[in-house]
A and B are shown apart, each in its own frame.
Chain A
């Protein structure tokens, strides 16, 4: 059973290889096509090999301000990543013991993961629009000049936007914490305590080093899922656009390989972040015990 070289092995190997080609083939094709020559189009063959479309992208010709939305997405990604790590790890520690409402909170978290994104996006947008009308009403009642003249909306990346993204990243963070603590050998903590460590020392010298690779994993989910998030962000970013929002707009308007160049750049950033995180995880797991 399940021997290498059996017929079954080859069948499933072929299915698996097909799946990998299916996963990576399309992205490789646009990476190739982003090096299209200046006269090249959206499809194969390559008309020459150049960095022309990357140059066009850099100049921002004919596009919305991609550079700005790019920086916004990175900043928001880092912000969401930090919150995802801090909140998931602390909640993960709390969940090690049952507390009042722990089941309710757990099922809320799972529900948040599978709620249709468009519904969540609408809900958060509604919430902040209602806050807007409350602010404006207050402004009119008390004739507060700054509100009457300057206030536009409370919707924004760091008011509604990051929260909508957290409803997507935090469940992954908590599930990773559950996975690590379900397999955690509690006698290690007991040993630390017997040796006279206080709870703080037990956490930082015993628990933390063991869960560190998982924390890097949570950070990876926090950043990449925020950096690429679109469905939940679609209605809640206010006046500003993140990179995925701009990208979606470009899919209908841009007809040159510049969109492939942009795709190559954003995918490279994702790969870079993934590569750094995974190397970190690897190093943390294989570090020498001194």
Chain B
């Protein structure tokens, strides 16, 4: 019997203290304050410590009577969920295919690392520039419209290519597909190749193998990727702002606007609601996995 190696390791837990302090000062305390301030009162000039629920009542004003159709808050959430859903769907399909290609068709490790880095590098560059870079392609006189006109496929430039829901979702997919690729790829690398061979030898075709073997075994990666994409789009205000030409609504934009007008308790109340919805989505999704086992 192999003897278990006894490993001497000094207790180093104190080394986590500075790390923990940063999260207390810049994460725990700020979020707690947000919760507290969401019950404060405010005027045009200042915020006043208080305990009122007025900020929340204001947000849901007219939401449950449906007198004037849907209220602004519900409309905004529907718009946010709309962006979330389509971005999630497209990044999932695209990310899965890219990860699948990298994990199963690229056999040489150096090539696999190189191709993976090619997918990753844009993540380390500026998001704003990556958004701006769609302008020469999608604009009214952009490359896409020009090409289509030259080919005689359209007479007039298509207007909805830029500053529309289309360009927002395109940019979100462009920015965040990587969040799907990395965890799904990671899950795929853990799949024992023999399991796939066994399925193949038993007569399963490729589609059946993907559906019955690979997808179930990639579930943790798919869920982690989905959590990343959904949470980042739920709170997005930059992409929807810049790519939507400041015309489309999202809950993140409402919070941002309220902050610019220094309506901090109102922004805090909206943040608390957004946070609870996000937490709810995550709890539902993590019912299926243990994140820590996936690293």
Query: Could you say which of B34, B134, B242, B291 contacts A119, with CB atoms under 8 Å apart?
Result: B34
Give B292's nearest chain A residue, CB to CB.
Answer: A106
- Residues facing A in B86-104 (CB within 8 A) are 94, 97-98, 100-102, 104
Q: Is A1 on the interface with B (CB-CB < 8 A)?
A: yes
Q: Is B259 on the interface with A (CB-CB < 8 A)?
A: yes
Tell me whether A231 and B238 are in contact in the complex, defined as CB-CB below 8 angstroms, given that A1-B197, A29-B143 are known contacts.
yes
Q: Is A13 on the interface with B (CB-CB < 8 A)?
A: yes
Tell me whether A105 and B136 are in contact in the complex, defined as CB-CB below 8 angstroms, given that A2-B104, A23-B174, A110-B291 are known contacts.
no
Contacts of B129 in A (CB 8 A): 27, 30, 247, 263, 266-267
Give the interface segment out of A140-148, A182-190, A208-216.
A182-190
Q: Is B27 on the interface with A (CB-CB < 8 A)?
A: yes
Q: Is A124 on the interface with B (CB-CB < 8 A)?
A: yes
Give the interface segment out of A58-66, A150-158, A220-228.
A220-228
Q: DSSP majority for the B interface? A: helix
Query: In the bound complex, what is the Cα–Cα distance between A57 and B156 (angstroms)?
Result: 34
- Residues facing B in A165-182 (CB within 8 A) are 166-167, 170, 174-175, 178-179, 182
**What is the CB-to-nearest-CB distance from B265 to chain A, in angstroms, rounded to a whole number?**
9
Give B122's nearest chain A residue, CB to CB.
Answer: A23
Tell me whether A187 and B97 are in contact in the complex, defined as CB-CB below 8 angstroms, given that A23-B174, A112-B23, A235-B259 are known contacts.
no
Q: Is A117 on the interface with B (CB-CB < 8 A)?
A: yes
Contacts of A267 in B (CB 8 A): 125-126, 129
**What is the CB-to-nearest-CB distance from A23 to chain B, in angstroms, rounded to a whole number?**
5
Tell me the total A-B contact number using a CB cutoff of 8 A.
Answer: 285
What does the 1/0 interface line of B263-295 toward A look like (CB < 8 Å)?
010011001001100100010000000011001
- How many of chain B's residues have a CB under 8 angstroms from any CB in A? 93
- Residues facing B in A41-61 (CB within 8 A) are 41-44
Query: Could you say which of B13, B22, B121, B209 contacts A100, with CB atoms under 8 Å apart?
Result: B13
Tell me whether A26 and B98 are in contact in the complex, defined as CB-CB below 8 angstroms, given that A97-B13, A119-B274 are known contacts.
no
Q: Is B57 on the interface with A (CB-CB < 8 A)?
A: no
Contacts of B136 in A (CB 8 A): 26, 29-30, 33, 42-44, 260
Contacts of A273 in B (CB 8 A): 124
Interface-central residue, A109, A119, A274, by most chain B CB under 10 Å: A119
Query: In the bound complex, what is the Cα–Cα distance between A178 and B293 (angstroms)?
Result: 11
Contact status B33-A87, CB under 8 Å:
no
Tell me whether A91 and B15 are in contact in the complex, defined as CB-CB below 8 angstroms, given that A16-B97, A267-B126 are known contacts.
yes
**What is the CB-to-nearest-CB distance from A142 to chain B, in angstroms, rounded to a whole number?**
21
Contact status B132-A251, CB under 8 Å:
yes
Query: In the bound complex, what is the Cα–Cα distance between A1 and B119 (angstroms)?
Result: 25
**What is the CB-to-nearest-CB distance from A71 to chain B, in angstroms, rounded to a whole number?**
16
26 A-B residue contacts at CB 8 Å?
Answer: A15-B101, A19-B94, A23-B119, A29-B137, A30-B135, A42-B139, A43-B141, A87-B19, A90-B19, A94-B14, A105-B16, A108-B27, A114-B282, A116-B234, A116-B274, A116-B278, A119-B34, A122-B268, A170-B22, A182-B295, A225-B124, A247-B126, A260-B132, A260-B136, A266-B129, A278-B117
Name B's A-contacting residues (CB within 8 A).
5-16, 18-20, 22-23, 25-31, 33-34, 37, 94, 97-98, 100-102, 104-105, 115, 117-119, 121-122, 124-137, 139, 141-143, 146, 174, 177, 196-197, 200, 206, 209, 227-228, 231-232, 234-238, 242, 246, 252, 255-256, 259, 264, 267-268, 271, 274-275, 278, 282, 291-292, 295
